[in-house]
A = this chain, B = another copy of it.
Amino acid sequence: MVKKYKKGNDVSYALGATVVMELLNNRPDKARAVYISEKSDVKAVVDRAHACGVPVVVGDKPFNILSPKENCFAIGEFDKYDCALSRERNHIVLVNPSNSGNLGTIMRAALAFDCTDIAVIRPAVDAFDPKTVRASMGAAFSVNTRFYDSFDDYAKEFYDREIVPFMLCGSPFAEKEFSRDKKYSLVFGNEATGLPSEFSEYGAVRIEQSDKVDSLNLSVAVSIALYKIRNL
């Protein structure tokens, strides 16, 4: 039976039919079971689960435990897994992101803009938290997310690329020249505190904004950066 989600668990849950379909389509080997509410049959999900050889359980109890208030009629239980990042692709690097909704929205934008390798520097929100997975609309199952204990650990592994920190003290992003021939790591700080000042040594950029707001929403900032890189 399902349990309330905790970060230390080996399994997590995809909440909602759309998200379960993304699990079954992209990571069927990780799916343990699909739970279907008595209130709905969600036939496409059941058919897909059968095709993937994933057990289907009908009943409302998992919904009361995992999603008491939400309009959710299908749950996919899955094993968490590790991902490796590609050396051949641009990366998003999130230093200490704290909000599951932001991380999920960033995953969705990453998939939309073909930049699907995401490094996350701890301490950080859980990439497999059901809230993150739901905010990603299931993109969590199509991107590669890898956690590091420090930015140095990440930078040692990926030394052969340009580091581009996004900071309020940086130079204008619109004037920054990017080349298709290079690989970039686009680095963003915590929602409340941004990046530590030492990152400015890499040559920071700033997405131009008025001084009427302290900063941009993190997922907005990442998306604007990805859109530019995608359309070089």
Chain A interface residues toward B at CB < 8 A: 101, 105, 108-109, 111-114, 137, 139, 142, 174, 207-210, 212-214, 216-217, 219-220, 223-224, 227, 230-231
**Residue from B101, B209, B220, B230 in contact with A220 in the complex, judged by beta carbons closer than 8 Å:** B220
**In the bound complex, do residue A209 and residue B174 qualify as a contact, i.e. CB atoms below 8 Å apart?**
no
Q: Closest 7 interchain pairs by CB?
A: A112-B209, A220-B223, A112-B213, A174-B231, A111-B212, A224-B227, A111-B213
**In the bound complex, do residue A208 and residue B231 qualify as a contact, i.e. CB atoms below 8 Å apart?**
yes
Residues on B with C-beta less than 8 A from A231 are: 174, 208
**Residue from B111, B113, B210 in contact with A114 in the complex, judged by beta carbons closer than 8 Å:** B210
Provide the bound-state CA to CA distance between A105 and B207, in Å: 16
**Contact status of A216 and B114, CB under 8 A, knowing A227-B207, A231-B174:** no
**In the bound complex, do residue A209 and residue B108 qualify as a contact, i.e. CB atoms below 8 Å apart?**
no
Residue in B closest to A172 when the chains form the complex, CB atoms: B231
**In the bound complex, do residue A220 and residue B105 qualify as a contact, i.e. CB atoms below 8 Å apart?**
yes
Residue in B closest to A214 when the chains form the complex, CB atoms: B137
**In the bound complex, do residue A209 and residue B101 qualify as a contact, i.e. CB atoms below 8 Å apart?**
no
Q: How far is the CB of A99 from chain B (nearest CB, A)?
A: 11
Residues on B with C-beta less than 8 A from A217 are: 105, 108-109, 219, 223
**In the bound complex, do residue B139 and residue A213 qualify as a contact, i.e. CB atoms below 8 Å apart?**
yes
Q: How far is the CB of A72 from chain B (nearest CB, A)?
A: 15
Q: How far is the CB of A101 from chain B (nearest CB, A)?
A: 7
Provide the bound-state CA to CA distance between A232 and B130, in Å: 40
**Contact status of A112 and B212, CB under 8 A, knowing A105-B220, A220-B220, A223-B223:** yes
Residues on B with C-beta less than 8 A from A214 are: 137
Residue in B closest to A137 when the chains form the complex, CB atoms: B213
Provide the bound-state CA to CA distance between A78 and B216, in Å: 25
